Structure 1
Amino acid sequence: MKSTCVDLLLATYNGARHLGAQLDSLLAQTHQDFRLLVSDDGSTDGTLTLLESYRARFGGRLVLVPNAAPGRGTVRNFENLMQSSLRDAQAGWAAFCDQDDIWLPRKIEATLAEMQRLEARAGEGAACVVHSDLVVVDSALNVVHPSFVRHQRFDPANCTADALLSINQVTGCAMMVNRALLQTALPLPAAAVMHDWWCALLAGSGHRSFLDEPLVLYRQHGANQLGAKGRTLRNRLARLVADAPGVLRRVRALGQATRAQALALRERLDSLGRDGGYVEDYLAWRGRPLWRRLGGHRRYYAGPALDRCSRLLFW
């Protein structure tokens, strides 16, 4: 029988406050054939002590992965875990895990079942991604919104490979990848904005499947790496009033980052012998004057009209 082992890739940094609840949720999963790989980015609180206290409860499945260069941030911390999972070759799949969330009991079972269906359709060797919806909760686990994708006004089930070049609709903590995806994604280029976005780009839309079911409690507590910001007109106006220069700065920085990431994607696809023509078209379109980009902006800039307009004006 084929192994159903999944590597859970847990990146930690000063997460002792919420980490215990996440670890408890992993122990409560309906699918228990997993290893928990943990890479710490140089915590100075009780994170490592807490992890040691849970080691016996995981029965040898909790593995502390050495981090040779701590302090490099979230992307490189997850890359360390991805490399370890691929190198060990004990699991056929890997799921990204954030230290402050809570996984609902069917999280691994449901995503693995969908992954196996996707791999059967895609064929052997296809780089595949499965991701799900999330429940947005506050620090005390009160529900802010029952659906993260609707809260953000995303449409991940219909998000094209073209649209993924400009905005990520695949949330890392709700995501599972297979070994073929790890092989194509590593090493992460310097231009990768986030590890999950880079993986989603390499799966495109053909080998990516979205489960319209919330499988994670996505905790918002003010220190999230990205988080779930309100996207109503009122929320946006409030952010503009509070810090208009900062908002403009972030929009422009994201524009520069998405272009650099697309350049890295084109290079990676070329090295893999995969067709990167759609990325080339995108980069050419990004280089045109504003008036020439108006006609095609819906192809690349998905989401609310205000988002599309800001990208047109400032990217």
Structure 2
Amino acid sequence: MHAPPLAMTAPLIDVLLATYNGARYLAPQLDSLLGQTHQHFRLLVSDDGSTDATLDILHGYRAAFGERLVLLPNPSTGAGVVRNFERLMHASLADGQARWAASCDQDDVWLPGKLAAQGAEMQRIESQAGAQTPCLVHGDLTVVNERLQVISPSFAAYQRTDPAAATALSLLSVNQVTGCAMMVNRTLLRMALPLPPEAIMHDWWCALISGSGRRSYLPRPLLLYRQHGANQVGARDRGLRSRLLRLGRDGAGVALRVRRLGQGTQAQAQALQQRLRALGLDDAYVARYLAWRKMPLPRRLAAYRNYYVGPELDRLSRCLLWHERS
């Protein structure tokens, strides 16, 4: 079902831009925000202690954005990307003006209709579920190189993932919500904050919170997802040939990273269970997941497809390697 066009009377959207030494690619991203078809937004920026020209560039755009550009003071720089986004989430929620918030990376380029498309879909699902329901809207991305040349027209296809098929249960094992293509409502912000120490990434934690409400995936690119070798979280070809090459180069390292991810996902799921209980929400599916993580390997293997949506090699290897640390 297609959402109706976003009305200009729709709630204000906060764009949450976390920056750190992003001068090289920042201007095209800011230009793409100014080029949005829906201009009823504010740009909240939190800088994590840049030593390049990032802040100079931001100040240079004050005239173009006017009062919509809000540069947050940051007395404790160097906290990292997760805490930088958490500051932005807190600021948007505490300010109380915007009902929806969209995360923004400093090195991408948004397509002109991104905010309008996500806002229209958010408006649709809130009209069905209510604004007091935690709601999240995300979409696909076009993967590009540093010169904005297309690597893949679809991030989901490039990663061999199926975000539309993800469930609250499967999101406990693998995140399929990309933060730079994510919009959330105030209720989700309130429920997600503060981010627990166990949160692997802010977008993953928001995706988990949406398991108690509504999550909608738009299967079309909303932005150009720039890959340049210094991405905090990037895209990589997950085709069988590329994966076998990586295993051949660094099999032990890959296995170690998978095991560490297993520890992280288990701790994150436990933190989610605590949060849901504190909010008085149903945590039965999280309890079921944690029980599965502790099962003997044969029983885990019998049910692993229910707990991981993604390439078969991914979910089988995780089931086997995570078992060793359960």
**TM-score of the pair, normalised by structure 1:** 0.98
Cα separation, 2, equivalents of 1:213 and 1:282: 31
Root-mean-square deviation (CA), in Å?
Answer: 1.1
Which residue of 109, 114, 121 corresponds with 1:102?
Answer: 109
Which residue of 17, 22, 34 corresponds with 1:27?
Answer: 34
Cα separation, 1, equivalents of 2:37 and 2:155: 23
CA contact (8 A) 1:160 1:205 kept: no
Task: Identify the residue that residue 16 of structure 2 maps to in structure 1.
Answer: 9
Which residue of 166, 171, 195 corresponds with 1:188?
Answer: 195
Task: Identify the residue that residue 309 of structure 1 maps to in structure 2.
Answer: 316
Cα separation, 2, equivalents of 1:121 and 1:157: 19
Which residue of 226, 229, 240 corresponds with 1:233?
Answer: 240
Runs (4+) of structure 1 moved beyond 3 Å? none
1:243-280 Cα distance to aligned partner (Å, 9 max, x none): 22221111111111000000000000001110001100
CA shift for structure 1 position 142: 0.6
Equivalent residue runs for 1:80-95 within 5 Å: 80-95=87-102
Structure 1 residue identity aligned to 2:128: R
Task: Identify the residue that residue 260 of structure 2 maps to in structure 1.
Answer: 253
CA shift for structure 1 position 155: 1.3
- Three-state SS of the structure 2 residue aligned to 1:275 is coil
Structure 1 residue identity aligned to 2:124: R
Task: Identify the residue that residue 176 of structure 2 maps to in structure 1.
Answer: 169
Cα separation, 2, equivalents of 1:24 and 1:305: 40
Task: Identify the residue that residue 45 of structure 1 maps to in structure 2.
Answer: 52
Structure 2 residue identity aligned to 1:237: L
Cα separation, 1, equivalents of 2:122 and 2:289: 29
CA shift for structure 1 position 304: 1.1
Task: Identify the residue that residue 219 of structure 1 maps to in structure 2.
Answer: 226
CA shift for structure 1 position 68: 2.4
Structure 1 residue identity aligned to 2:250: D
CA contact (8 A) 1:95 1:176 kept: yes
Structure 2 residue identity aligned to 1:62: L
Task: Identify the residue that residue 272 of structure 1 maps to in structure 2.
Answer: 279
Equivalent residue runs for 1:112-151 within 5 Å: 112-151=119-158
Structure 1 window deviating more from structure 2 (237-246 vs 118-127): it is 237-246
Cα separation, 2, equivalents of 1:143 and 1:292: 43
Gaps of 5+ in 2: 1-7
CA shift for structure 1 position 36: 0.3
1:42-68 Cα distance to aligned partner (Å, 9 max, x none): 111110111111111101111111122
- Three-state SS of the structure 2 residue aligned to 1:59 is helix
CA contact (8 A) 2:134 2:212 kept: no
Task: Identify the residue that residue 36 of structure 1 maps to in structure 2.
Answer: 43
Structure 1 residue identity aligned to 2:273: R
**TM-score of the pair, normalised by structure 2:** 0.95
Cα separation, 1, equivalents of 2:57 and 2:251: 41
CA contact (8 A) 1:36 1:62 kept: yes
- Three-state SS of the structure 1 residue aligned to 2:183 is strand
Cα separation, 2, equivalents of 1:234 and 1:157: 25
- Three-state SS of the structure 1 residue aligned to 2:169 is helix
Percent of aligned positions that are identical:
64
Cα separation, 2, equivalents of 1:313 and 1:86: 41
CA shift for structure 1 position 4: 2.5
1:173-196 Cα distance to aligned partner (Å, 9 max, x none): 001000000000000000000000
Structure 1 residue identity aligned to 2:225: Y
CA shift for structure 1 position 311: 0.5
CA shift for structure 1 position 292: 1.5
CA contact (8 A) 1:6 1:92 kept: yes
CA shift for structure 1 position 138: 0.6
Cα separation, 2, equivalents of 1:163 and 1:237: 24
CA contact (8 A) 2:103 2:181 kept: yes
CA shift for structure 1 position 112: 0.2
CA shift for structure 1 position 3: 5.1
Structure 1 residue identity aligned to 2:239: T
